[in-house]
Amino acid sequence: MRAARAARACCVAALALVLAAPGAAPALGHAQTQASGLRGAIASALHGRSLRFNRAESAVSDANARLRGECAGVQGAGGDVTAVLSFLALSDEALAEAVSTEADAATQFAAVPDAPDRRAAFAAARETARRAVGHLRNARQLTLRAAAELTRVCEGLRAGSAP
């Protein structure tokens, strides 16, 4: 901890010497420095959010693909999978909406430092991000309903083929 603090102090001192040198670039104003720090914080938060969102989106997308593969086998065995496929289609639509809304939220978050009213811009971006997560949750719920329906169809096939 002390070593990191000392290294940071050394870097700050070196930066001060460079800026104080003749012909050095003028120091940034408080608003520019604050916006720059905010940009860095937002970039870091967006990176983590992007990783989590992409992981969740990929999980739902992969589950939908697996269920479609299983539907082909069940349909070949004589099962009616139209309800399952309709749930999966709705899930895909919700997933596409989630991805689109998340991209809008990322754009809005990136614009916060340059907005005249940062608080309002951040609130709007946060609301858009919440809608994206809501769409993602909806897609996951639809995938779960499709899986439950496929299980019901499979149980019906087993019951019909039992001696």
Q: Which two tokens stand for residue 133?
A: 């997560």
Cβ contact 82:106 at 8 Å: no
pLDDT tens for 18-42 read 334 444 444 456 556 666 777 888 8
For residues 53 and 136, is the Cβ–Cβ distance under 8 A? Answer: yes
* Residue that wins the pLDDT comparison between 141 and 12: 141
Encoding tokens for residue 10?
């050394």
pLDDT of residue 31: 57
pTM (2 decimals)? 0.74
